[in-house]
């Protein structure tokens, strides 16, 4: 995991043979996890961006200004749940089986056809 440095990776859906995002910031320390996407405007939600929150069992969009797709991953980076276009001021489902959550621009799940059971891979930048 990161040590507070800005770490960016790509996330590849091996099952679908598609890159979900190639500009994924990792939030694995207290402050980045706390802040998440708060303060980001809709311009953040460009194709191929993401925020990977580690650890996480669920997220919220309180204070956000745009919808996001949410992908829940287990320890082996297998997709255990997806939420399409979670609107601002909402709470996602909370899953004990999830070990991390990836926030992506709305429509990423549909465009990539990502589904429960898909296997994701981290590709270091």
pLDDT score, position 7: 78
pLDDT score, position 5: 53
3-state secondary structure of 68: strand
> Domain count of the chain?
1
Q: By residue range, what is the domain housing residue 59?
A: 8-124
Residue 119 phi, psi dihedral angles, 5° rounding: -105, 120
3-state secondary structure of 43: helix
**Domain for residue 119, yes or no?**
yes
**Domain for residue 40, yes or no?**
yes
CATH for 120? 2.60.120.1140
**Domain for residue 2, yes or no?**
no
**Domain for residue 3, yes or no?**
no
pLDDT score, position 35: 86
**Domain for residue 1, yes or no?**
no
Match 């056809």 to its residue by tokens: 113
pLDDT along the chain (125 residues), means of 10: 64 97 94 87 86 96 94 98 97 97 97 98 86
**Domain for residue 84, yes or no?**
yes
pLDDT score, position 2: 42
**Domain for residue 49, yes or no?**
yes
């Amino acid at each position: 995991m990161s040590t507070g440095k800005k770490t960016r990776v790509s996330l590849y859906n091996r099952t679908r043979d598609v890159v979900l995002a190639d500009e994924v910031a990792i939030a694995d320390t207290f402050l980045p996890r706390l802040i998440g996407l708060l303060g980001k405007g809709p311009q953040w939600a460009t194709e191929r961006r993401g925020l990977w929150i580690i650890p996480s069992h669920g997220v919220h969009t309180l204070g956000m200004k745009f919808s996001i797709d949410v992908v829940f991953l287990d320890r082996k980076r297998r997709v255990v749940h997806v939420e399409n276009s979670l609107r601002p001021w909402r709470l996602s489902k909370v899953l004990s089986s999830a070990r991390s959550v990836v926030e992506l621009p709305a429509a990423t799940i549909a465009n990539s056809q990502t589904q429960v059971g898909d296997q994701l891979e981290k590709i270091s930048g």
